[in-house]
Amino acid sequence: MPRSKSAAKLLKSPGELIEMMPSVSPDSIAAHMESVIRQLGEDPTRDGLVRTPQRVEKALRYLTSGYKADPEKIVNGALFDVDYDEVVIVRDIEFFSMCEHHMLPFYGKIHVAYLPNKKVIGLSKIPRLVDAFARRLQIQERLTQQIAQTVQSLINPRGVAVVCQARHFCMMMRGVEKQHSDAVTSAMLGAFRERKETRDEVLSLMNQR
């Protein structure tokens, strides 16, 4: 459909749209998104798209806010001396992340377990740590490993186990287009890696329903 004269006047060059956006720098994500929208064959001046570049920038900055997260500040001293030596598990931690290969979402649940070594971590801190690493451009394998290594470094437990189950939009929306395929990854440290019976126990507890 041809553009109206009034719409055509709104944009004569890519730089003019940037001037229409309040507080938008020519080097910002929003400014570059205007060019992306145009390259896709759309009109970035039509009503539904005029502020889309700013919305996309805001969404991307939130979805990648984990780069600014400091695990020690997240824990904020919530480490407690406790005489407890059995497994601690936080199951079914929901997460969303962004695949670094196609910048499409992947999502699912993560289970985190550890064997304390005279210290435990506040339970609410574990989901916050998951978010800190999920809100980045990621691959599932690295995400799983980073969570395990961070718990290990923070409280030095006798073992850490992390299992991640996720669905990837890069498989669901494009490529093989399989809607119900899950990817499962795990990271086992310390006793969970070295002792089969300990590993089997924690996997059984993670899978109980």
Residue 119's domain is classified under what CATH number? 3.30.1130.10
Give the model confidence (pLDDT) of 131-157 as tens digits: 999 999 999 999 999 999 999 999 999
Catalytically annotated residue among 19, 42, 100, 194: 100
Same domain assignment for residues 85 and 58: no
Rg of the chain over all Cα atoms, to the nearest angstrom = 23
Give the model confidence (pLDDT) of 63-89 as tens digits: 999 999 999 999 998 999 999 989 999
Asked about 111 being catalytic, the answer comes back as no
- What's the average model confidence in pLDDT over 9-23? 50
| 7 within 8 A of 49, measured Cβ to Cβ | no
Catalytically annotated residue among 149, 152, 165, 170: 170
- 4, pLDDT greater than 90: no
| Domain interval for residue 173 | 73-207
Asked about 180 being catalytic, the answer comes back as no
Tokens at 18, concatenated: 């940037």
Asked about 164 being catalytic, the answer comes back as no
Report the share of the chain in percent with pLDDT over 90.
Answer: 78
Same domain assignment for residues 106 and 82: yes
| 112 within 8 A of 164, measured Cβ to Cβ | no
Spatial distance between the Cα atoms of 103 and 97, rounded to a whole number of angstroms: 9
Three-state DSSP at 92 gives strand
Asked about 32 being catalytic, the answer comes back as no
The predicted structure's pLDDT at residue 180: 84
Asked about 102 being catalytic, the answer comes back as yes
- Going by the DSSP 8-state scheme, the letter that residue 26 receives in this structure is T
Catalytically annotated residue among 138, 140, 145, 146: 140
The predicted structure's pLDDT at residue 208: 83
> Do the domain assignments include residue 31?
yes
